[in-house]
Structure 1
Amino acid sequence: MLGILVDGLFVIGKTDLQWNMVCRELLGHEPPPVILNSNRSILAGARIRYKWLEAWFVIPPAANAGDEVMQQHARYHLLVWMGALLFMDKSADRVSLLPLQFLNPISNGRQYSWGSAALAWLYRHICSASKKD
């Protein structure tokens, strides 16, 4: 329905990255430190709060912004789009940062089989949801 590729490179990445550093490198902003045993943290594992991201990217980049700033804004918009449509989970306030590692540079995103990755994500979450506990 979305015209997302089902052929291309496999979406296989790392899950044990230092996500605060990934955010700083690819989005230009580093989330504050994690608050232990609290649901108020901006970053929880590889998931980050939408509102925190939105606060940084609510203002469009200037017309004369450099390539890096434009790439950061494009990554933000793709991340939110992917989190809302392809890789959603039960939380309504966080987005997974996992796809971010495949968007450096932003043009790399075209190489991957996002449709297959979304299907695998869906199957994983259906399996988790079907457990008795």
Structure 2
Amino acid sequence: MQMCTDFAGFTPNNNDLNTSVIRMNALQRWPVHQHSTNEELITYTRVLIWQLLGGLLFPSTTGNKIKLYFLELLQGPLGEARRWSWGSAVLGFLYYNMCKATKANMRNIGGCLLLLQIWAWERLPMGRPRNVLPYENLQDMPYGCRWACRHNWEQSSRYTLRIYRDQLDGIRENEFV
């Protein structure tokens, strides 16, 4: 609780926090305005990065809890965090969670599923929307932005898991990009 007070600028309620996680809706945001101090901006940035780390890049299977150790990573100067290999960490965390999800008793999957979805849409012919932005329109944009447009789902399978399994079983080498 003290770590939240010191580095995130708020004290959470006891029912929002346990020893290793905090409920996502307990994280507070403050408006940033022209009179915000440098310290307020750093605190706001730290909380926003904490939410991105725990909610998008390294989400748990609960969907609404963020690990406190992400805040520990952000305790020093924020510029130090760029030295770490975040991409390989996100990918490793996704692989780990995909392996865990193969167990019979698992009902949910953690990890950056947005990364998995973009990868699947790029590589597998089934289940993806038909409209994507052409590469020429991307220029300096991140690669995943190709899929940030209105989609056409008319020719996509979307009914049952069995259809997807049959299509994956029947995929040929030249169909996998």
Fold shared, TM-score > 0.5 on shorter chain: yes
Larger helix share, 1 or 2: 2
* Alignment correspondent of 1:72: 43
CA distance in 2, matches of 1:62, 1:72: 14
Deviations 1:60-110 (A, max 9, x none): 134222222111100111111222321012112222232222222221211
Rg comparison, structure with higher value: 2
Mapping of residues 34-73 of structure 1, within 5 Å: 41-53=15-27, 56-57=28-29, 59-73=30-44
CA distance in 1, matches of 2:5, 2:83: 24
With the length of structure 1 as denominator, give the TM-score of the two structures: 0.66
Cα contact 2:5–2:11 (8 A) shared by 1: yes
The number of equivalent residue pairs is 104
* Alignment correspondent of 2:63: 92
CA distance in 2, matches of 1:88, 1:77: 14
* Alignment correspondent of 1:30: 11
* Alignment correspondent of 1:82: 53
* Alignment correspondent of 1:122: 94
CA distance in 2, matches of 1:121, 1:24: 28
Between 1 and 2, higher relative CO (CA 8 Å, sep ≥ 6) is seen in 1
Cα contact 1:89–1:125 (8 A) shared by 2: no
Structure 1 residue runs without a partner (length 5+): 1-19, 34-40
With the length of structure 2 as denominator, give the TM-score of the two structures: 0.52
Structure 2 residue runs without a partner (length 5+): 106-177
